[in-house]
Structure 1
Amino acid sequence: MRGSPSRPRSLRWRVLTAISVVAAVTVTMFAVPLAIAVRDLYRNETVTALGRDATWIAAALPDENLERRRTVRLPAQVPAGLVVGVYSPAGRLLYGQGPAYSAVAARAGDGHPHDGREGGFLLASAPVPAEGGQAGVVRVGTPYAQVGERVDRAWLAMAGLALLAIALAAAFALRQSARLAAPLEQLTRAAQALGEGDFSIRPPRSDITEADAAGRALAATAGRLGEVLERERSFSANVSHQLRTQLTGLLLGLDAALARPGADLSAAIEVAVQRGERLRTVIDDLVGLARDTRTGSTPLDVPALLEEVRLDWHGPLAARGRGLHVTVPPDLPTVAASAPAVRQILRVLVDNALAHGEGEVSVDASAVGDALAIDVTDQGKGIDEDRDPFARRAGGDGHGIGLALARSLAEAEAGRLVLRRRSPPVFSLLLSPPAQ
């Protein structure tokens, strides 16, 4: 049977837990050996003091066989609280306090001091030297509970310091976890805002290198997405206008032919078919461009493209008594651009010259350093000084939405579309060479 999946923990909880556990383990690793060392230190200090007192008392006793004496007077300066007894070398109590038999005293029968525990007392024994042997043994003890109290007080102080250290580590962990989690929470909120369509997000700085780098990347991505979406919206609106314009011209031609008595319907249908073919080409190009927003990576065949312009627009201009002049000099620089995009840009420029300009229309290609310039001009009055020809307008006598579409297509191809001269108007399409 599978266990239920564990609930995910927040970063704050993980950092707080990790630092607190590490602090607790570290304190324990140091505290336990230190506590044992303190206990041994206090015991050894007490044993040393007892041994010193036992040796001093033994030196003060007469150096004769103490088993034959009826009484022995101990020194008056014996510290209070000590249990002092005089024993035979065999460990039998002769004078003073203590049990009738003491193993610690008996071990001192070998002529050397000894220590140990008996009956709740910490003891030290020292032999009483005599001529030709050993007069007896002095046994000095203190209740082991007194040593235990000192050890307990020391351990209590150490435990308090350990808890204080762990509490300080937990407080630091709490602050650090909040500091580490806050940038991620801000990035989460920024990502949610981005998902809701806010492309102006700017996550605040946190002074954490990785979080700041992620924030900058998210802000840059949001900016790029905003630009792409705005370009797509503008492209869609401009394309709709461009298609409606072509379709309106086709329908108006058919309506005019049907409304005129005796009109040559065959000629009207032929013109409509030609316009329908051009509209199909426009649709194919724009659909292809909408599906692929990357700039062209193959060299552009400029002579073939300008020949298409000449074939497509010579008839419409000639029908209005206007000429079309196309210039393609040899040795033009090689540029990388999408042929459908450049075709639509030139279609917009020539169509604007046909609709709003006068006289002959010229389409001239030329080299500008290692770049390519294609100029479209006519002999009309041009564009007013206070008017931006690339601003989107649904009506009026300006160049309207088509030029806005043309400029967006040029920028998508890493090129530029500029108005080089207002009167007579000269529009220049600048295309860069392929990236090395």
Structure 2
Amino acid sequence: MVRVALTAALVAVVLLAVPLALAIRSSLYADQRDTLERAALSGAVRVSPDYTTGDPVELPAPPSGGHLGLYDTQLRLRAGSGPRTGDAAVRQALGARVVRSHSGDDLTVTVPVSHAEQVIGVVRASSPTAAVRNRVLAVWAVLAGACALALTVAVLVARRQARVLAAPLEDLSRHSRAVTAGDLSARAAPSSIAEIDQVARTHNEMLHSLTELLRHERDFTANASHQLRTPLTGLQLTLEAGLAQDDEARLRPALEEALATTRRLHGTVEEVLRLSRSPGLPRTPAPSEPVARLLGETEEHWHGLFAHDGRRLLCTTGEAPDDARVPGAPVAEILGILLDNARVHGRGTVRLTVRDLGDALAFDVADEGGIETTRPFERGHTGDGEGEGIGLALARDLAVSLGGRLSLTGRRPTTFTVLVPVRQDETGGETGDAGG
């Protein structure tokens, strides 16, 4: 940046200073010749025609450091100062014309003196060339100083501008190194330069997309691990119990229960995969299922688990219409997470109730315990310090994917409410919005 600015300034200075220096030199020399010519003319008007007969001539003072003399037609010095014999310039002036010339180390101007249309003498004015040369050099020195000052200012401005341009690029470089080191929260700050801002915005957008992609991958792994652990344990226990049976008639229920668990595992995997897709990608709507059948299957699956812990599970459709339908698999997964949360962290009787809100269905899951945490849906955070803090976060994400909402509506007793929007399907029945 500094090199480019200095080169541009140097070219501009050269293109301006060289012609200006030549113009100054020519102007100073021309000005000195004009001064000599005025002095010669002033002397010529004072010359009387009778000077040839001995009448004295009073010439004005010569130019500073120079000479002013009157020469007759024989090239002899008659008055003033100068060479004793007239030079070529004096000889040329006898031809009735003003002559400007450079004679040796002097600048010379000769003016003819006329009387009765005859040249009767020549006034010669001269000054040393060195005096003009010294003035030219002095002015050139000032010009060179001005050029040096201009170049210095150009360098300083270029360095400052370079720092202004380099600062956001260095900041972007630091953020890139931070990202390379693993800090995906680093973001490039905006600057006052539009082009660099565009690069920074693109960098931040790319980093945001990368962060979201990694978050989806991480959440998928955590969700799958969390949701599959309990069913897999149950499946293992069921198969072990079935293998311990010698009676084939008693083996069949165990295998049927294992098959049902396998189907639930398949549904869990499908829901976690569907949720892990990027927001911009299309999601296949989950098949709808009547609310009554969904609650029946949920009660059938969870009743034994609560009974094993000495607790009760009550499921009621409440005000829900008989033909109400909701996306079966995702809603079942959300209810399963809430019931498992109530079984592990709650106490007493657990109630699952469905309410009709017109354009939505509300599923309430309540137990007789209490909840203290202020961040129940924060991933990795649990109120009692037990568990991994994944279930409720996953349930909330599943509800959002349906266009609904999961919220904590009561602390004592603990109550979670899932809102699932409903819409009219093509046959006129109400269907949960399974789009997401």
TM-score > 0.5, shorter chain as reference: yes
Shift of 1:88: 5.5
C-alpha spacing 1:108/1:130, structure 2 compared with 1 (3 Å): same
Determine the structure 1 residue equivalent to 2:76: 94
1:82 is matched by which residue type in structure 2? G
Q: What SS does the corresponding residue of 2:167 show, helix, strand or coil?
A: helix
Aligned residue number for residue 146 of structure 2: 161
Residue correspondence of structure 1 range 196-345 to structure 2 within 5 A: 196-201=181-186, 229=214, 232-259=217-244, 262=247, 264-294=250-280, 304=289, 306=291, 309-310=294-295, 312-317=297-302, 324-326=315-317, 328-329=320-321, 341-345=330-334
Q: Deviations over 1:70-102 (max 9, x none)?
A: 99867484456424454566xx63227449674
Residues 69-78 or 399-408, more deviating: 69-78
**What residue number does 1:19 align with?**
5
Q: Which residue of 1 aligns with 2:416?
A: 427
| Pairing partner for 1:50 from 31, 36, 61 | 36
Hey, what's the Cα distance between the residues in 2 that align with 1:56 and 1:282?
Answer: 117
Give the Cα–Cα distance (whole angstroms) in 1 for the partners of residues 25 and 376 of structure 2.
Answer: 94
- Structure 2 CA distance for aligned equivalents of residues 245 and 174 of structure 1: 65
What letter is aligned with 1:131? Answer: A
Change (3 A) 1:365 1:233: farther
Amino acid paired to 2:89: V
Give per-residue Cα distances to partners, 1:29-70, cap 9 Å, x unaligned: 43233323322332122112211221233234341585xx79
Distance (whole Å) between structure 2 residues aligned to residue 316 and residue 331 of structure 1: 22
Deviation for aligned residue 1:253: 1.2
Displacement after TM superposition at 1:188 (Å): 1.3
Q: Are the structure 2 counterparts of residues 396 and 83 from structure 1 closer, same or farther at C-alpha, using a change threshold of 3 Å?
A: closer
The residue number in structure 2 matching 1:376 is: 364
SS at the partner of 1:93? coil
Task: Name 2:428's counterpart in structure 1.
Answer: none
What letter is aligned with 1:376?
D
Q: CA 1:386–1:30 in 2, change beyond 3 Å: closer, same or farther?
A: closer
CA distance, structure 2, for counterparts of residue 87 and residue 399 of structure 1? 120
After superposition, what is the alpha-carbon deviation per residue over 1:117-151, rounded to whole angstroms, capped at 9, x for unaligned? 23342111111122342202122222223212211
Mapped partners of 1:329, 1:103: distance in 2: 129
Change (3 A) 1:280 1:297: closer
Mark the CA change 1:399 to 1:383 in structure 2 (over 3 Å): closer, same or farther: farther
Let me know the Cα RMSD of the aligned residues: 4.3
Q: Matched residues in 2 for 1:343 and 1:85: separation? A: 124
Structure 2 CA distance for aligned equivalents of residues 246 and 423 of structure 1: 29
The 3-state SS of whatever aligns with 2:49 is coil
The count of aligned residue pairs is 410
* CA distance in 2: counterparts of 1:430 and 1:296, whole angstroms: 22
Matched, 1:82 2:66: yes
Question: What is the deviation of 1:358?
Answer: 6.5
Write the letter of the residue equivalent to 1:404.
A
Q: Kindly indicate whether residue 409 of structure 2 is the aligned counterpart of residue 409 of structure 1.
A: no
Query: Which residue among 163, 167, 170 is the counterpart of 2:155?
Result: 170
What residue ranges of structure 2 are gaps of 5+ in the alignment? 423-432
Identity fraction in percent: 31
Q: Point out where structure 1 has 5 or more consecutive residues left out of the alignment.
A: 1-13
Q: Secondary structure at 1:123's aligned position in 2?
A: strand
Task: Give the whole-Å Cα distance in 2 for the aligned partners of 1:402 and 1:165.
Answer: 70
For the structure 1 residues 431 and 159, does the alpha-carbon distance in structure 2 shift closer, same or farther, using more than 3 Å as the test?
farther
Q: More deviation in 416-425 or 198-207? A: 198-207
Q: Deviations over 1:272-299 (max 9, x none)?
A: 1111111112112222322344587788
Give the Cα separation in 2 of the matches to 1:82 and 1:102: 16
User: How far is the alpha carbon of 1:343 from its aligned partner?
Assistant: 4.6
* Secondary structure at 1:122 match in 2: strand
Contact 2:353 2:365 in 1 (8 A): yes
